[in-house]
Amino acid sequence: MSPPPPSVLLIGTLAHTTAEWEALSSKYTLLSFRSGARAQFLANCRDGTYAGVRGCYRSNVSTALTGPFDKELVDALPESWKYVAHNGAGYDNIDVAACSARRIAVSSTPVAVDDATADVGILLLLGALRQAHEPLVALREGRWKGKLRLGHDPRGKVLGILGMGGIGRAMAHRARSFGMKIIYHNRRRLDPELEKGAEYVSFEELLARSDVLSLNLALNANTRHIIAAPELAKMKKGVVVVNTARGALINEADLVAALESGQVSAVGLDVFENEPEVHPGLVKSDRAFLLPHLGTSTIETQRDMELLVLKNLQAAIDQGKMLTLVGEQKGLDWAPEEADL
């Protein structure tokens, strides 16, 4: 008698890949938790409902159902659970350390989001440089240009990128076409073929030299409030700050103070520290070009993200590998190898 097929769990819903998910029924037992609350999910984990589950598909959106994948939840997962395939480039709502302690591998979707997020980053960069908020509002209110404030050209400006991963490199590629000089800081320098002429600098030099600072790094305990009052004070007076990563990388209150003082001339933000709440100082500022977390909000990118999660889940179950393992787990002696994309 052949063993039963592996079980996989979908947490939440799919918008673009329902057919691909259902096709997996040919080799897996498909389970789902499409609605409910954290207490029910935890009960399911503990009462045997998910006994035999090898891995799951979850997303930032599904956090509304289960709450964060924190230590309490991770410790409640059945022993069979070895993989978390996450939909999102950011995964700060997953306690990766707790997963690692349980030898549960976690993947994210960094590759699928690069272009769409960088496109929004450039939109924010240009909107902030050109002081576009006030004229946009004035036009709709029948005031034509309103209290027009002259902006700046990107040409010749120094774009400092904090976090030169896939999104940061896509941002640099686009910015070069505007004649911007690229400098960057990472935990380690990139290979020259990935730098494409960008200059690797220290964190302190990045702050001191950037005309525009773009944040393109993950949020974790080490990067929370990596930009706060001390860092803002080290920047050029009139610097522009762009953030498409995670709002809590910046101390929002300190950013508002710097904006009000003129130390920061403008900001372009797609993410906020306490989403969906936005600091009132940002909302009222006519030098804040703001979007409500639209970085990956395209049909093509959303589908690509969902497909990558499903591919991660299949590679994990079928090969014991993941395509896009999170950085914190790479190199651990128990962690699965990465399969080729």
| Tens-place pLDDT, residues 93-125 | 999 999 999 999 999 999 999 999 999 999 999
pTM value?
0.93
Span 168-196, mean pLDDT? 97
Better pLDDT: 250 or 341: 250
- So which residues are the catalytic ones? 246, 275, 293
Question: H-helix or E-strand containing 19?
Answer: helix 18-23
Span 201-229, mean pLDDT? 97
pLDDT at 341 over 70: no
DSSP string, 112-164: HHHHHHHHHHHHHHHHHHTT-HHHHHHHHTT-TT-S------STT-EEEEE--
Task: Please report, for the chain, the start and end positions of each structural domain, with discontinuous segments joined by +.
Answer: 7-108+300-329, 115-290
- Return the pLDDT at 338: 79
Span 42-60, mean pLDDT? 97
Cβ density class 299-311: b for 16+ within 10 Å, e for less: eebbbbbbebbbb
**Tally of helices (H runs) and strands (E runs) in the chain:** 14, 12
Span 280-288, mean pLDDT? 97
* Alpha-carbon distance values, 221 to 58, 194, 240, 304, 325 (Å): 22, 27, 25, 29, 19
Residue 322 and residue 105 in contact, taking contact as beta carbons nearer than 8 Å = yes
Residue 161 and residue 198 in contact, taking contact as beta carbons nearer than 8 Å = yes
Confidence bin at 148 (pLDDT 50/70/90):
confident
Q: Nearest 5°: CA angle at 245, between 240 and 250?
A: 60
Torsion 335-339-340-341 (CA) sign: negative
Torsion 166-171-177-183 (CA) sign: negative
**CATH of range 7-108+300-329; options 2.115.10.20, 3.20.20.140, 3.40.50.720, 3.40.50.920:** 3.40.50.720
Beta-bridge partners for 239: 264
pLDDT at 309 over 90: yes
- Return the pLDDT at 3: 81
Asked if the domains at 7-108+300-329 and 115-290 fall in one CATH topology, the answer is yes
Three-state DSSP class for residue 328? helix
Confidence bin at 2 (pLDDT 50/70/90):
confident
Count the neighbouring beta carbons within 10 Å of the beta carbon of residue 42: 16
Span 311-336, mean pLDDT? 94
Average pLDDT, the chain: 96
Residue 215 and residue 163 in contact, taking contact as beta carbons nearer than 8 Å = yes
pLDDT in tens, 184-194: 999 999 999 99
* Percent of the chain predicted with pLDDT > 70: 99
* Percent of the chain predicted with pLDDT > 90: 94
Domain 115-290 falls in which CATH fold?
Rossmann fold (3.40.50)
Confidence bin at 1 (pLDDT 50/70/90):
low
Span 65-77, mean pLDDT? 97
